[in-house]
């Protein structure tokens, strides 16, 4: 299991969870949500409840319905069936109220490139109705959090990819939302920049802000999320803490065997006959929960490579699809 | 003890100002404020175009054609043209950016995705965009008038109404342009808009020549051209002689056009940005 990323502390913060909404009301509630585009069902009976103060990673491959779900939460896509509530507000009827209390980090970078960092933030301070007397402070705080404190006058066009992403994230935090939606916040960024952004997201988690983060990066979901919901073909197939999911579906150890093309099928069949789950990556057969393999069986399989079980093993097992 | 994060949110409480389903001036002004900030970067280019274009029109048509024509419909040609160009300028200052910029912001820059994730709805977004363009037209619409004064148009108190007329016409054209931008599906479609819509609009409006010499059906068609009504109002304000009944009719047509376009633009934009 990977270690959590230490979050940057928001200035002057304590770790109490926000409680503008009664604590028993979930930050997010989706029941039987269906969204169709013509003959394609993008979201198919989605049930999801996110309590306040939880960081939930919505993990799934491309086309799993994550982005459609995110769009439905901001009422930019309307569900054909089902119920959606955000902080107690019914969507889409009370979407504007909900949007006033949440921040949204879009998948697409839609910063105004011809404007400066400060100007981009100022624009959204208007849209989020930050009171005039608090705008300057809100913008300064956002720039500090994004580590762009000395870049206020820099044109967005002159920022690096990582800086732009950080700006995009803190733009959604100007009004101190209770809930933050992040749609693939680190997609397309190099690993170093991604790690940098994790610090910003961790800071939110430390504040007790509810976060729903869609991602198709296993490591990201594992490091940042209190819980992970695995999504495939439009619905959640399993949910739990990363550790619990790994323990439940993949055990502690995975053994990888590379018997060659002809032997792989036979090896897989033999292992499965004993009730074990396997996954194939090319000619390599991975046996999950390998610590429970009887010695008599193991002796017949050959020499394995051993490694710790991961969330990716769980995902592939449950969905049959690979993720990054 | 509540953290600074939560305390600041208590102070901000944007949800107190956001009302579901209700049309809110704050949201509209948020969109306008955004455009104002953007304008801070582009005002030089915008002003350059607003000044140079009418000046060239007046120089070329006013002196070129004016020398041949002399007077037209009881006005010197340069006076006739100068007031017509005010209305044309308003149309170009509002409708062109409404079509092009709105399309680009929706389709390529994903700007509206960001705005609509904030507590702003589509009607407020459309209104804010159009309001900004109308305000800009109200100011820049006066530039051709000042240029025409430089070319000999006699100043008068009625000219003080021109910014208001320009604002009204600019609002109408901006909403018209936003609706079109939400109807078209590709940049290529803009060719149809510019050639098939813009050109007849500004040619059949009494801007460069009076409509009285055109066939009857064209004159009738001009009655539904908002630019014609803007031209009549501007000429009436600058030269006087427009009766109260005619003024009410022209203003009424523009207001009716605004209401119709507001509904069409809001409806069509909703279809585009909400799936």
For the stretch B199-243, pLDDT in tens is: 888 888 888 888 888 888 988 888 889 999 999 999 999 988 888
Structural tokens at position A109 = 């970078």
**Nearest to B120, CA basis, from B36, B37, B25, B39:** B25
- Among A96-105, A126-135, B54-63, B264-273, the least confident range: B54-63
State mean pLDDT over B115-139: 94
- Bridge partners of A237, per DSSP, are none
Q: Of the spans A87-96, A216-225, B45-54, B129-138, which averages the highest pLDDT?
A: B129-138
Q: Is B92 a residue whose pLDDT tops 50?
A: yes
pLDDT for the residue numbered A40: 92
- HSE value, Cβ hemisphere, 13 Å, CA-based, for A138: 31
Is A115 an 8 Å CB contact of chain B?
yes
Whether residue A76 and residue B116 make contact (CB cut-off 8 A), yes or no, is: yes
* Partner residue facing A176 (CB), from B9, B26, B30: B9
Whether residue B14 and residue A15 make contact (CB cut-off 8 A), yes or no, is: no
- Total Cβ atoms within 10 A of residue B217: 8
* Partner residue facing A106 (CB), from B4, B27, B113: B113
pTM over 0.90: no
Return the residue matching tokens 């939400």: B182
Residues in CB range of B219: below 8 A, 6 or more apart? B211, B212
What is the C-alpha separation between A251 and A267, in angstroms, rounded? 20
Structural tokens at position B49 = 């175009």
* Partner residue facing B109 (CB), from A95, A110, A138: A110
Is B12 an 8 Å CB contact of chain A?
yes
* Partner residue facing B37 (CB), from A74, A106, A122: A122
pLDDT for the residue numbered B254: 96
Helix axes B77-107, B244-273, angle to 10 degrees: 20
pLDDT for the residue numbered A16: 34
Return the residue matching tokens 């916040």: A185
What is the C-alpha separation between B27 and A11, in angstroms, rounded? 29
DSSP, res B144: H
ipTM above 0.95, yes or no: no
- Bridge partners of A46, per DSSP, are A33
pLDDT bucket at B21, cuts 50 / 70 / 90: low
Whether residue B14 and residue A100 make contact (CB cut-off 8 A), yes or no, is: yes
Q: What is the distance in angstroms between the Cα of A294 and the nearest Cα belonging to chain B?
A: 54
Show the low-confidence residues of chain A (pLDDT under 50): 1-19, 323-324
Whether residue B38 and residue A129 make contact (CB cut-off 8 A), yes or no, is: no
Q: How far apart are the first and last CA of chain A?
A: 17
Residues in CB range of A171: below 8 A, 6 or more apart? A105, A111, A120, A121, A124, A142
Contact A108, A97 (CB under 8 A): no
pLDDT digit string, tens, across residues B139-165? 998 888 888 888 888 888 889 999 999
- Residue A14 or residue B246, greater confidence: B246
pLDDT for the residue numbered A261: 66
Residues of B in contact with A96 (CB under 8 A): 18-21, 119-121
pLDDT for the residue numbered B267: 96
Is A136 an 8 Å CB contact of chain B?
no
Q: In angstroms, how far is CA A189 from the centroid of its own chain? A: 15
pLDDT bucket at B19, cuts 50 / 70 / 90: low
pLDDT for the residue numbered A10: 37
Contact A82, A33 (CB under 8 A): yes
Residues of A in contact with B17 (CB under 8 A): 100, 129
Minimal Cα distance from A128: which residue of B? B118
pLDDT digit string, tens, across residues A149-191? 899 999 999 998 888 988 999 999 999 999 999 998 888 777 8
Q: How far apart are the first and last CA of chain B?
A: 43
Angle CA(B36)–CA(B113)–CA(A121) in degrees, nearest 5?
45
Is A119 an 8 Å CB contact of chain B?
yes
What is the C-alpha separation between A158 and A311, in angstroms, rounded? 37
What is the C-alpha separation between B204 and A234, in angstroms, rounded? 54
Whether cis (ω within 30° of 0) applies to the bond prior to A273 is no
Is B154 an 8 Å CB contact of chain A?
no
Is B25 an 8 Å CB contact of chain A?
no
Q: What is the distance in angstroms between the Cα of B142 and the nearest Cα belonging to chain A?
A: 28
Which of B114, B116, B127, B272 is most worth mutating to test chain A (most A CB atoms within 10 A of its CB)? B114
């Amino acid at each position: 299991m990977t270690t959590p990323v230490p979050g940057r502390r928001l200035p002057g913060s304590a770790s109490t969870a926000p409680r503008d909404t009664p604590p028993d009301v979930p930050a997010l509630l989706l029941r039987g949500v269906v969204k169709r585009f013509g003959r394609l069902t993008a979201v198919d009976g989605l049930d999801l409840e996110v309590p306040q103060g939880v960081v939930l990673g919505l993990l799934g491959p491309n086309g799993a319905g994550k982005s459609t779900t995110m769009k439905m939460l901001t009422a930019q896509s309307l569900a054909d069936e089902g119920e959606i509530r955000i902080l107690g507000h019914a969507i889409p009827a009370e979407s504007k109220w909900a949007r006033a209390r949440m921040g949204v980090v879009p998948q697409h970078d839609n910063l105004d490139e011809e404007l400066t960092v400060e100007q981009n933030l100022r624009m959204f301070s208007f849209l989020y109705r930050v009171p005039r007397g608090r705008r300057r402070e809100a913008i300064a705080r956002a720039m500090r959090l994004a580590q762009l404190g000395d870049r206020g006058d820099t044109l967005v066009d002159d920022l690096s990819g990582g800086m732009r992403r950080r700006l995009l994230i803190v733009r959604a935090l100007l009004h101190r939302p209770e809930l933050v939606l992040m749609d693939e916040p680190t997609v397309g960024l190099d690993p170093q920049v991604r790690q940098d952004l994790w610090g910003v997201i961790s800071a939110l988690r430390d504040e007790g802000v509810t976060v729903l983060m869609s991602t198709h990066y296993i490591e990201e979901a594992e490091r940042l999320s209190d819980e992970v919901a695995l999504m495939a073909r439009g619905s959640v197939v399993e949910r739990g803490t990363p550790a619990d999911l790994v323990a439940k579906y993949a055990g502690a150890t995975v053994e990888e065997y590379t018997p060659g093309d002809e032997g792989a099928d036979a090896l897989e069949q033999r292992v499965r006959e004993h009730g074990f789950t396997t996954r194939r990556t090319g000619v390599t057969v991975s046996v999950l929960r390998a610590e429970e393999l009887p010695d008599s069986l193991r002796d017949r399989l050959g020499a394995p490579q051993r490694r710790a079980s991961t969330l990716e093993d769980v995902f592939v097992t449950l969905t049959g699809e690979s993720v990054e | 003890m509540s953290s600074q994060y939560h305390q600041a949110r208590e102070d901000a409480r944007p949800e107190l100002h956001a009302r579901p389903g209700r049309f809110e001036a704050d949201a509209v002004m948020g969109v306008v404020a955004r455009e104002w900030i953007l304008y801070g970067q582009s005002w030089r280019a915008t002003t350059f175009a607003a000044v140079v274009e009418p000046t060239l029109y007046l120089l070329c048509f006013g002196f070129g054609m004016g020398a041949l024509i002399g007077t037209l419909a009881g006005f010197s040609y340069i006076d006739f043209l100068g007031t017509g160009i005010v209305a044309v300028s308003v149309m170009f200052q509002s409708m062109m950016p409404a079509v092009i910029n709105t399309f680009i912001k929706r389709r390529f820059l994903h700007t509206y995705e960001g705005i609509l994730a904030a507590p702003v709805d589509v009607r407020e977004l459309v209104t804010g965009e159009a309001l900004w363009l109308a305000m800009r037209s109200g100011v820049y619409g006066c530039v051709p008038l000042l240029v025409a004064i430089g070319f000999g148009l006699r100043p008068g108190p009625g000219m003080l109404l021109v910014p208001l007329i320009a604002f009204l016409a600019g609002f109408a054209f901006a909403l018209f342009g936003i609706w079109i931008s939400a109807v078209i599906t590709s940049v290529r479609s803009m060719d149809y808009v510019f050639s098939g819509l813009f050109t007849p609009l500004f040619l059949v409006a009494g801007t460069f020549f009076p409509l009285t010499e055109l066939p009857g059906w064209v004159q009738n068609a001009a009655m539904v051209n908002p630019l014609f009504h803007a031209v009549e109002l501007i000429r009436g304000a600058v030269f006087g002689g427009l009766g109260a009944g005619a003024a009410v009719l022209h203003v009424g047509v523009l207001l009716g056009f605004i209401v119709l376009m507001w509904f069409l633009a809001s409806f069509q934009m909703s279809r585009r940005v909400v799936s």
